[in-house]
Structure formats: C-alpha cells, structure tokens
Amino acid sequence: MAQQVARRIGGFLAALLLASLVIFTAVEVLPGDSAQMILGTEARPDTLAALRHEMGLDQPVTQRYADWVAGFVQGDLGTSRTYSLSVSTLVAERLVVSVPLALAALAFAVGTGLSLGIFAALRRNSLIDHALMGLTQIGIAVPNFWFAMVLVLVFAVNLRIFPAGGFPGWAQGGFAAMSSLVLPTVALALPQAAILARIVRASLIETLHEDYMRTARAKGLSHGQAIRRHALRNAMIPVLTIMGLQLAFLLAGAIIIENVFALPGLGRLIFQAIQQRDRVVVMSIVLLLVGTIMLINLALELIYLAVDPRLRKRN
C-alpha cells in the first residue's frame, strides 16, 4: 500500500516537472525574443539590451527555466511586467472570484445531477424519465458560453433580476457579490449537471438489478432502505470518477465564462496577459491549472486505493 502511494506521488511529481518543461518551451522559448516583440524591429540596440536585461532575457535559457521552477516551488510565481506586481499576488486577488465560482458550479452540478438522475432512475421508462433524459441531451449539447448569453438576455436584459456582468467585490457585502455569481454558476454547471444526471441514472439502474439488492430485500429491508443503503452507495463509484474529471473541466470552463460576464477571475487575468504579452503570467497560471488538474487525478487515484482493496493487490 505505502509503496503504491509513493509510486503514484512520484509519478505526479514527474508529470508536473514535464508539464513545466512543456509550458516553458511553448511560451518562453519557441515564440522567440519577447523584448524584440515588445519594442519592434526598429528598436535601438541599447534600449533592446536594457529591456532584455530587465526581463532577465540575457540569462541562458536553462538558467531562466531553473529560476522559474525554483521560484514556483517556493511560491514565487514571477513578476508581472504590466502590473509590476508578483504573479502570486495577482493570482491570489483573482482566486477569490474563480474558486467560489468553480465550487458553486460543482455544488450546483452535483446537486441537480444527483437528484435528477436518481429521480429518473427510480421512474425508469416513465414519461417523466423520457422527458428528463431528452432535456439532458439538450443540456449536454448546449455550449455553456452561449447558454450564458441566453441567461444574460433573459435574467439581466429582460427581467433585470441579476446583473449582466462585472463583480462588485466581497467588500461591498456578500449579497451583491453572490448575486453577480449566480448566472455564471448556472451557465458553467449546466452541461456538467446534464452529464452527471445521465451517468447517475445509468449507474443506479445497473445496481438496482444486482443480486445484493434482492438479498437486501430478502433480509427484510424496505425498498427505500435497500436503495439508500446498497444501490446508491455502489452507484456512486463511477459517479465519483466523473466528478473528478468535471472539476478539471469547470476550471477550464470558468476561463471562458469569466470572459462572458467580465468577472475579474483567473480567466480574465490570463487573457489580459496574452494580449499584453506578459509571458510569465501566462506560464505560471497555465502551470497552476494543469497542476491542479493533475492533483485532482492523484487524489482520485489515492481515494480508490483506499476504498477498493482489489486495486492494492495489483502491480
């Protein structure tokens, strides 16, 4: 067991290191000299040299990579050129928008997905089951940023219940901040809720036919008790995998949704950085997101290892 855990953590660290190399190469090495790009081809050599020195570009590539990674390990994500602020500070400021958004969307997706999926599975092949599954087909097919625009049209432009965009900040009181996150949350969560509802339904229908369900009834449990104690618990195993994957999609999806609603989260920060050619911001945020996705996968693998004894025996 300990060996399995150690091997998985080792694999995670190796993957993270490889990811940092890929990201550094794609953003910092391949595009060429960023000082030249900022100043243009007409720049005077001494101005160019000064900017290159200021940006650390006069150092060898390997040194720059090593500095970036070493800084990252110590929590120093570099310094943004446009903001003249450390990237960690910028990211921390933006996380107070992005993290609540992603978590609220996950909670909303799980809540809706679970209840609709269980409801449909227990009424399998009824009219309402067909109607719900038809709706989830549409929910999966809707691009979430388009759905976001439709929500703005209905609830912000026409009904004027929620703001169309922007974020007042948590300092103004939680209510204004939360109401500006409602539409983004719903838009981000919709496709995930639809996927989850279908998987919960399929998974629960499968477990309802298992032999242990008949045994549970035979030993005297009521239908409801058997479902709660046996069917639901077993049905949750595949659902957990999907939820882990969904958290990764929510992180990436939030980048687009934040741009629809002009929310000052990580997504906005990374797009402003792309436009301003602020490379260290782009690099560090992408590595943070990729690292988070890898960390979620590692956590899932470790949970399985703890829950399922069959996995521990295998090599």
Which residues in this chain contact another protein in the complex, by CB under 8 A? 11, 15, 18-19, 22-23, 26-27, 30-31, 124-125, 130, 133-134, 137-138, 140-143, 145-146, 149-150, 152-153, 157, 198, 201-202, 248-249, 252, 255-256, 259-260, 270-271, 274, 279, 282, 286, 289-290, 293-294, 297
Distance CA 134, CA 53 (A): 60
Distance CA 17, CA 294 (A): 11
**Pair 280, 72: CB distance under 8 Å:** no
Q: Which is nearer to another protein, 216 or 287 (CB)?
A: 287
State the minimum distance, in angstroms, from the CB of residue 200 to another protein.
12
State the minimum distance, in angstroms, from the CB of residue 256 to another protein.
5
- Token pair 């909303």 is found at 108
State the minimum distance, in angstroms, from the CB of residue 225 to another protein.
27
Q: Which is nearer to another protein, 213 or 298 (CB)?
A: 298
State the minimum distance, in angstroms, from the CB of residue 282 to another protein.
7
Q: Which is nearer to another protein, 50 or 299 (CB)?
A: 299
Write a three-state SS string for 183-220.
Answer: HHHHHHHHHHHHHHHHHHHHHHHHHHCCHHHHHHHHCC
Q: Which is nearer to another protein, 30 or 73 (CB)?
A: 30
Residue 108 CA: distances (Å) to CA of 32, 153, 183, 245, 274: 44, 21, 12, 16, 31
Distance CA 296, CA 105 (A): 16
Residue 278's nearest CA partner among 292, 265, 268 is: 268
Residue 164 CA: distances (Å) to CA of 2, 36, 261: 51, 40, 7
Q: Which is nearer to another protein, 36 or 221 (CB)?
A: 36
State the minimum distance, in angstroms, from the CB of residue 258 to another protein.
10
Q: Which is nearer to another protein, 204 or 216 (CB)?
A: 204
CB atoms within 10 A of CB 42: 5
State the minimum distance, in angstroms, from the CB of residue 155 to another protein.
12
Distance CA 42, CA 53 (A): 18
- Token pair 């003249």 is found at 84
In b/e form, how buried is each residue of 188-202, taking b as 16+ CB within 10 angstroms?
bbbbbbbbbbbbbbb
Q: Which is nearer to another protein, 102 or 289 (CB)?
A: 289
State the minimum distance, in angstroms, from the CB of residue 60 to another protein.
20
Q: Which is nearer to another protein, 77 or 216 (CB)?
A: 77
- Local structure of 293: helix, strand or coil: helix
State the minimum distance, in angstroms, from the CB of residue 37 to another protein.
10
